[in-house]
Amino acid sequence: MQFDQGHALIIIGVGADLPNTVDDARGLADILKDPARCVYPPDQVLLLTGQNATREAILTALDTLAQSTNTPTYQSTSLPTSQSIVLIYFSGHGYQVSSSFSDVYFLMPYGYDVDRLKTTAISGTEFTAKLRAIPAQKLLVLLDCCHAGGVGDAKAPGLELTKAPLPPEAIDLLTEGRGRVLVASSQEDEKSYAGKPYSAFTLALIEALSGVGVAKQDGYVRVADVALHTRQVVPGRTNDQQHPILHFEHADNFVLAYYAGGDTQPKGLPFDVEPEIEPEPGAWTVVHGPQTKIAGDVHGPVLSGQFAGPVAVGGGEAVDMRGSQGTVYKPSGQVEQQFGDRITISADGDILVGAEPGEELDLAPSPEATRLHRILSDRMDLEEFRTLCFDLSVRYDSLRGEGLAGKARQLVLFLQKREALPRLVEWLHHQRPDIRDV
């Protein structure tokens, strides 16, 4: 049984300085496609992450969504509605950009440039126009836009950038029909809390889509179930510091999905770890190596850790940081450790820890590396392996070897040499919980 009406566009807009949002996007996409829970047809759930979530890709995906929901008629008579239901989720940065002559809201997708916002970001007007073009009469928009970190000091002259949770133009869309609902992760003066395995906001969404807190245990999760559950549990998990914004006063309480694959008894949550929420926004960040991490503070993201050699910032003079704890505030140019294992951060925030793969071929694999190589070779396809490399900030094309087995061999050796195999294990725990022998 499938929930044929369901269509979803799951977007993560920035990625590099908001690594937790990638897990959020994937987690939401996974539960919508989960055959034991929401049962959206897999080909009707589009996930855009990282470099695939550019301005052009997002606008094209919205156009495609409008076309695919143009004839929302289905044969199933067991469902309480026969019209397309569209869910759009954006996790990234949202900014109100003020100048001397106007205020414009922008969603910041991957590759945004504050000097070229018109051509690299998506204005609230553009976004709302794309939403308006979607003919489905049931539309839920979820925005997780007020994160810690951000564009920092990289501001175009004459512009003031202020974090903003939602486009004001989108609110006007809600008056055009009773099937329009908008939920934002936090109030205007608040930030969104990250967490494990998901952020506070996305964790609440996934719980509701699993049937937690539904008003009726009839097999369906309705839009009010999602909205009210987020409003109830997010403040409690963030010390009353994050309060979702709900705009559904004039909307019908339409069915959004199944919560148990068509059954009435919930199947539980789609993960078996105990959820944790960071103590304050920006306190938790992705670990990019055994001694190196990206962290956030009032000055913006920084590169910090124990360095094996001099560090050059933006092409400037190298500072010898060997054997000492050092911090480099995120620059507009490239950061590069020049001796020892290479650490590079591009201007876009992409991170590569360690030298280019290639010199590990003669390294004897440890038992752990051998075991992980077998798992990657036997339990993955090539496309998922490419995603793994992207998430670990290892260039797939730099891996020697033929086919999946050969490239997986060098990846585990590359990680073994840098004492980073735990990163691979953590990724498998989060992304492939079906693999029990990790």
Question: 278: closest CA among 369, 396, 185, 194?
Answer: 194
Q: What is the mean pLDDT of each run of 10 residues along the chain (438 residues)?
A: 84 63 90 95 91 91 88 41 80 85 87 86 93 89 82 60 85 76 92 91 97 94 94 95 86 91 95 89 52 32 42 42 39 41 42 49 80 92 88 79 86 83 88 79
Q: State the DSSP H helix or E strand holding residue 160, giving kind and residue range, or none if neither.
A: strand 160-163
What pLDDT score does 360 carry? 55
| CA dist., res. 56 & res. 16, Å (int) | 18
| CA dist., res. 84 & res. 136, Å (int) | 5
CB 229 within 8 A of CB 208: yes
The tokens describing 390, both together, are 């992207």
pTM (whole model) above 0.85: no
What pLDDT score does 352 carry? 44
Per-domain residue ranges of the chain: 6-277, 292-353, 367-431
Amino acid at the residue 90: F
Question: 163: closest CA among 281, 2, 312?
Answer: 281
Contacts of 89 (CB under 8 A, 6+ apart): 8, 9, 10, 11, 25, 28, 141, 142, 143, 144
6-277 topology per CATH: Rossmann fold (3.40.50)
| CA dist., res. 425 & res. 372, Å (int) | 8
What pLDDT score does 151 carry? 58
CB 247 within 8 A of CB 170: no
- The radius of gyration computed from the CA coordinates of the chain, to the nearest angstrom, equals 22
